[in-house]
């Protein structure tokens, strides 16, 4: 510590600083990008009274996060719609307010909700638990699009994400400063397979259609083996230096993973399909937000699945962009996209085989009918003694 001298008072002192303390109260649910106006600013200082309707309207807008859904439902959508439109037009619609309107008027409020939660690059994603608890408390049907970028993700963070049951699109970009695009993290290929096994045992991610992992120190084969256990996953992306080394095996195998579940998508610029058909071009577009990109990814999966109901009349989605929004492109990294190969109609209609028809191990099936059971010589002798004793 360095001592300082004050010439005016003649005092010798030591100046110390304390680290910033993070508040335990989460504020991201009430954060808005617009500027709220306090109703006190509209007090009429002249002769006469202000409009009672305008005063009540401004008071409702100011205290909307304190409302109960039953209160809005009591006064009807005719009055609540004006408050809802005003909040959207002035960018003052918070997550808490959107949740209140969704619970009060689920048929009228069916649009998506977008929220940006900035965080310092390289920080730990401490809000994931808050995201999980908040989304789990929804009393209405809703999808979740989640993007976490340039933060220090750990194994516990990935395991905690399995508690979000309505997760539909998940983009995880690990913080990295090296030219290879990799981070010194404990999330490796072995953990990716463990993560997939946990998802299978927990029966999680039933709505997850699109998954993207960037800058993780895992191999491409381990990644595909792990995410194969995700029940609803259809499009996945792996962006890492390890993908460049492993992609040669896919080229030799006609771009199909050795278990026959995944096929590589051509995203090297030879196929554009109006930008939206190429997810790699969509990711690096600067004219659209990350929320719009995740919507495009979800619609792309729906188009491959040939389920227009998902694309045209899907549920309302809450989109969260968490972390540092600046994505870096590394020269030594390689981004590969894969689409799941669905089973054919014959495989779906084929009846399941019985265990006795399948046999043991990976060898060929052996018929067990009309096959005599072998009995050892010692067993025969013991059986003869028992029958002889019964005869006496």
Domain ranges of the chain: 46-111, 118-346
The β-bridge partners of 116 are 321
| Distances from the Cα of 204 to the Cα of 77, 107, 196, 383, angstroms | 36, 28, 10, 55
The span from the CA of 246 to the CA of 250, in Å, is 8
- Please give the pLDDT value at position 126: 92
Q: Is the torsion defined by CA of 30, 32, 38, 39 positive or negative?
A: negative
Q: What is the mean pLDDT of residues 209-238?
A: 92
Given phi > 0 = left and psi -120 to 50 = alpha, else beta, which region is 80?
alpha
More confident site: 225 or 364: 225
Share of the chain above pLDDT 70, in %: 73
Q: Please, which pLDDT band fits residue 63 given cuts at 50, 70 and 90?
A: very high
Q: Please, which pLDDT band fits residue 327 given cuts at 50, 70 and 90?
A: confident
Q: What is the pTM of this model?
A: 0.77
Is the pLDDT assigned to residue 369 strictly greater than 50? Answer: no
Most confident of 13-22, 139-148, 324-333, 349-358: 139-148
Q: Please, which pLDDT band fits residue 309 given cuts at 50, 70 and 90?
A: very low
Of 205-209, 241-245, 297-301, the least confident: 241-245
Is the pLDDT assigned to residue 353 strictly greater than 80? Answer: no
Of 45-59, 256-270, 288-302, 346-360, the least confident: 346-360
Q: What is the mean pLDDT of residues 236-257?
A: 74
Of 36-40, 81-85, 228-232, the least confident: 36-40
Is the pLDDT assigned to residue 185 strictly greater than 90? Answer: no
Q: What is the mean pLDDT of residues 349-364?
A: 42
Q: What is the mean pLDDT of residues 65-75?
A: 92
Is the pLDDT assigned to residue 19 strictly greater than 90? Answer: no
Is the pLDDT assigned to residue 114 strictly greater than 90? Answer: yes
Q: What is the mean pLDDT of residues 120-134?
A: 92
| Residue 80 CB coordination number (10 Å) | 23
Q: What is the mean pLDDT of residues 277-299?
A: 92
- Please give the pLDDT value at position 20: 58
Share of the chain above pLDDT 90, in %: 43
Is the pLDDT assigned to residue 293 strictly greater than 80? Answer: yes
The span from the CA of 300 to the CA of 327, in Å, is 22
Residue 189, token pair as written in the block: 């290929």
3-state SS of the chain is CCEEECCCCCCEEECCCCCCCCCCCCCCCCCCCCCCCCHHHHCCCCCCCCCHHHHHHHHHHHCHHHCCHHHHHHHCHHHHHHHHHHHHHCCCCCHHHHHHHHHHCCCCCCCCEEEEEECCCCCCCCCHHHHHHHHHCCCCCCEEEEEEEEECCCHHHHHHHCCCCCEEEEEEEECCCCCCCCCCCCCEHHHHHHHHHHHHHHCCCCCCCEEEEECCECCHHHHHHHHCCCCCCCEEEEEEHHHHHHHHHHHHCCCECCCCCEEECCCCCCCCCCCCCCHHHHHCCCCCCHHHHHHHHHHHHHHHHCCHHHHHCCCCEEEEEEECCCCCCCCCCEEEEEEECCCCHHHHHCCCCCHHHHCCCCCCCCCCCCCCCCCCHHHHHHHHHHHHHHHC
């Amino acid at each position: 510590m360095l001592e300082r001298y004050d010439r005016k008072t003649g005092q010798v002192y030591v100046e110390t600083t304390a680290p910033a303390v993070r508040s335990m109260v989460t504020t991201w649910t009430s954060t808005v990008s617009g500027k709220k106006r306090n109703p006190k600013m509209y007090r009429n200082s002249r002769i006469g009274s202000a409009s009672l309707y305008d005063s009540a309207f401004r008071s409702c807008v100011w205290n909307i996060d304190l409302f109960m859904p039953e209160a809005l439902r009591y006064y009807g959508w005719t009055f609540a719609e004006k408050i809802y439109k005003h909040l959207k037009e002035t960018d003052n619609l918070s997550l808490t307010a959107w949740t209140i309107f969704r619970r009060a008027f689920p048929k009228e409020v069916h649009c998506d909700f977008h929220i940006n939660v900035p965080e310092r690059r390289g920080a730990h994603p401490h809000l994931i638990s808050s995201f999980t608890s908040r989304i789990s408390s929804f009393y209405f049907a809703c999808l979740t699009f989640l993007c976490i970028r340039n933060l220090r993700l750990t194994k516990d963070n990935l395991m905690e994400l399995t508690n979000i049951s309505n997760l539909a699109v998940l983009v995880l970009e690990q913080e990295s400063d090296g030219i290879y695009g990799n981070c010194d993290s404990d999330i490796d290929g072995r953990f990716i397979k463990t993560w997939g096994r946990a998802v299978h045992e927990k029966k999680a991610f039933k709505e997850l259609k699109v998954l993207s992992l960037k800058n993780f120190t895992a191999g491409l084969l381990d990644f595909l083996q792990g995410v194969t256990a995700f029940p609803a996953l259809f499009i996945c992306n792996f962006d890492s230096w390890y993908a460049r080394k492993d992609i040669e095996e896919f080229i030799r195998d006609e771009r199909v993973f050795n278990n026959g579940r995944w096929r590589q998508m051509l995203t090297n610029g030879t196929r554009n399909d109006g930008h939206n058909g190429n997810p790699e071009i969509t990711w690096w577009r600067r004219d659209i937000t990350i929320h719009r990109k995740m919507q495009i990814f979800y619609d792309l999966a729906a188009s491959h699945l040939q389920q227009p109901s998902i694309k045209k009349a899907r549920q309302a989605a809450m989109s969260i962009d968490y972390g540092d929004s600046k994505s870096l492109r590394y020269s030594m990294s390689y981004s590969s996209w894969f689409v799941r190969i669905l089973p054919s109609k014959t495989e779906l209609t084929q009846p399941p085989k019985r265990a006795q028809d399948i046999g043991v191990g990976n060898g060929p099936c052996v018929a067990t009918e009309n096959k005599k059971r072998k009995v050892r010589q010692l067993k025969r002798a013991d059986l003869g003694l028992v029958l002889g004793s019964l005869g006496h």
